[in-house]
Structure formats: C-alpha cells, structure tokens
C-alpha cells in the first residue's frame, strides 16, 4: 500500500542527513568538515478517514492531515450500532 494522499498526491520525499564537525568560519572557527551523510525520508502525515463524496456514498480514503484541517471534506457520520 503506497503512502500517497488520495487528494493532494503528497508522497514521501527523499533527502540526506549531513553530520558536521568543527566550528563555522563565521563563528571564529577554522571551518566545518562533513563526517557522514546518510539517506532519510520525510513521510506525509496520512490518516484514514470516512468521507461522503459527491455522489453521497461513504468511502474510506487516505488523506494528509493538512487537507483534513482545512475542512476540504465532509466526514461521514458515525456508524449506528444496533442494540441486541
């Protein structure tokens, strides 16, 4: 299952974590050296929510938290449980 937002298309971004040693020249040092570089990923904050779409049907989607906060969806009402 891919980590992709169904609406914004947000997906994990790739970058590098750089470890440095020493004091920067602008702070009075002799400069910094890079001692290690490792790959890392920034993952989107995806949530599974039940929404009501344009046709009025209830479906479950994976959406990033920013879209939920912005109120771009109408959440489906809670399931009614029958008493037995």
Question: What is the distance, to the nearest Å, from the Cα of residue 76 to the centroid of all Cα atoms in its chain?
Answer: 22
Q: Residue 1: is its pLDDT beyond 70?
A: no
Residue 21 in contact with residue 32, Cβ under 8 Å? yes
Give percent of the chain with pLDDT exceeding 70: 98
Task: State mean pLDDT over 4-12.
Answer: 93
Average pLDDT, the chain: 91
| Domain residue spans of the chain | 13-69
Tell me how far apart the terminal alpha carbons of the chain are, to the nearest angstrom. Answer: 36
Q: Residue 63: is its pLDDT beyond 80?
A: yes
- State if pTM tops 0.85: no
Range in 27-31, 59-63, 76-80 with the lowest mean pLDDT:
76-80
């Amino acid at each position: 299952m891919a980590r992709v937002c169904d609406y914004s298309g947000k997906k994990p971004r790739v970058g590098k974590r750089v470890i440095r040693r020493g004091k920067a020249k602008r702070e009075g040092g002799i400069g910094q050296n890079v001692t290690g570089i490792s790959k890392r990923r920034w993952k989107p904050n995806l949530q599974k929510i039940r929404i009501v779409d344009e046709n009025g049907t209830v479906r479950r989607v994976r959406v990033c938290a920013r879209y939920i906060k912005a109120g771009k969806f109408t959440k489906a009402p809670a399931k009614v449980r029958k008493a037995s």
